[in-house]
Amino acid sequence: MDSLLLESYMPPSDSIKKFYLEARAIFENDTVAFTDDRIIEAAQRNHIDLISGPMLGDVQAERVTLWLRPANTNILQIKVNTQKGTDIRALELKPIRPGKVERIVLDGLKPATHYDYHISTNDRVISHGSFLTAPKSGQKSTVRITFASGFHKIGLHNPNLIRSIIHRKPLAMLLLGDLAVDDRDTHWGLHRSDYLLRDVSPAWQELASKIPLYASWDDHDYLNNDLSGIPEGVTKADRDSLRFIWQNNWNNPTTIGDGIYFNTRIGEVEIIMLDTRSCRNLDERGDYGSYLGTSQLQWLKEVLKNSTAPFKVISSGTMWSDYVTKAKDSWGTWDIAAREEIYSLIESEGISGVLLISGDRHGARAFTIPRPSGFRFYEFEVASMGGVPGPPAMAEDSSHQLFGYEGLGLKAFGEFTFTATSEQPKVTFRLIDESGTILEEHFLGYDALLPLKK
């Protein structure tokens, strides 16, 4: 099945396919890391220079982080230059160990500037890409950020979808779970095999090398359908292993939450991505703190109170609202009290510009969440990167629903365009399909994101 996915749209070269199949057989039969001699030998035998990457991440005004997994210890030359050919920078990397993840910070860059980069070894270009640096915080700017969930491996290989995303020229993309690994439980070899399947996909390589990515996990990345926390048959050591594998296969900021949950600022937008899987307490389901865990919950509240960004985007792997499938695996059946505390904090502290995003429930929908004060939150739930079936497009009570699309066949992503170039900032949401067609467009003035004064 996995090899068929690899050839579903843009088949890779014969050498890459052969390497993947050899490596997959090793991963399937043994719990090994990418640094295992057999994986490295397979890569080198098939003339593979990079097992994985490059993947962009953590974009700022003057830097971006480049993630990759070299197949040997040959010196890598990285050349960065503006697309106008100026501001040329070069650096070298001597990998420590074949198969080990390397993260290179490309810094000293100019804000809001388009750059190209090339990675070479032995005077031979082995990869290239491009990116746009963020504007400086505090400066009036326009920032475009795409988001979605539900690749389920299928969408990773879809060049039409990937090129539609790249065509929109977002500064970054937020991936909200169910991405590359599908239901591998505690078989660590197959977790790594699924990440390798992602990394050898030509379509994925195009996305990861051109758009900085930020990722959070959901149930299928974590263990299996609807699993979370430490379920029966899983240990705390297993959870630590899961977190380690996740950290090593994504390029998230790691200063807070070890890259499992984190916040970062991109221009005038605070990005807050939550871990809504591994911190759950199964023994206390329904009690305060059982969904995020008390440490992450406290961290979230502090981030919200301290953020000076005009806009704040908070992601949840599963839905914030209870409109779809009666919240069977999300906030409404896990921790209503903590959710209410978050909502109340935003209102009482007058925290403006908050937008809620979520995934998990296949399809694409948007809702308002009304509050007793008369204020309402906006939730955009886009889980349609793989076009797989899910719940009905419209909720049973659709009185607070802005739109709804079923998941089957829908390959689409969400986009926010944040405009802070005038005294009245605004945000535009668009739902865009793989052909580039804008299916939905909704404008929100900043006053709609201002909690009502009591």
* Dihedral pair phi/psi, residue 404, rounded to 5°: -160, 135
Contact 181, 250 (CB under 8 A): no
Contact 215, 175 (CB under 8 A): yes
What sign results for the dihedral spanned by CA atoms 264, 270, 276, 279? Answer: positive
Exposed, middle or buried by CB within 10 Å (0-12, 13-18, 19+), for 352?
Answer: middle
Complete DSSP assignment for 137-176: TTS--EEEEEEE---TTTGGG-HHHHHHHHHT--SEEEE-
Six-digit token string for 177: 């779970």
Task: Tell me the helices (H) and strands (E) count for the chain, helix number first.
Answer: 11, 20
Query: CATH fold of 2-132, please?
Result: Immunoglobulin-like (2.60.40)
Per-domain boundaries in the chain? 2-132, 142-449
Exposed, middle or buried by CB within 10 Å (0-12, 13-18, 19+), for 108?
Answer: exposed
AA identity, residue 306: N
- SS3 category, 106: strand
User: What is the C-alpha separation between 253 and 260, in angstroms, rounded?
Assistant: 9
Angle ∠(280,281,283) on CA atoms, nearest 5 = 150
List residues bridging with 312 in a β-sheet: 270, 354
- SS3 category, 31: coil
User: What is the C-alpha separation between 311 and 354, in angstroms, rounded?
Assistant: 6
Residues of the chain with pLDDT under 70: 255, 257-258, 453-454
The region, left, alpha or beta by phi > 0 then psi within -120 to 50, assigned to residue 407 is alpha
Contact 140, 413 (CB under 8 A): no
Kind and range of the H or E element at 224? none
pLDDT at position 357: 98
pLDDT at position 272: 97
- C-alpha distances (whole Å) from 185 to each of 24, 76, 194 are 17, 36, 12
Six-digit token string for 453: 């004064």
pLDDT at position 284: 95
User: What is the C-alpha separation between 211 and 260, in angstroms, rounded?
Assistant: 20
**C-alpha of 337 from chain center:** 27
User: What is the C-alpha separation between 44 and 16, in angstroms, rounded?
Assistant: 11
**C-alpha of 81 from chain center:** 26
User: What is the C-alpha separation between 2 and 89, in angstroms, rounded?
Assistant: 39
pLDDT at position 31: 87
pLDDT at position 52: 98
pLDDT at position 374: 94
On whether the pTM is more than 0.85, the answer is yes
User: What CATH code is assigned to 142-449?
Assistant: 3.60.21.70
pLDDT at position 454: 53
Complete DSSP assignment for 5-41: HHTSSS---HHHHHHHHHHHHHHHHS---TTSHHHHH
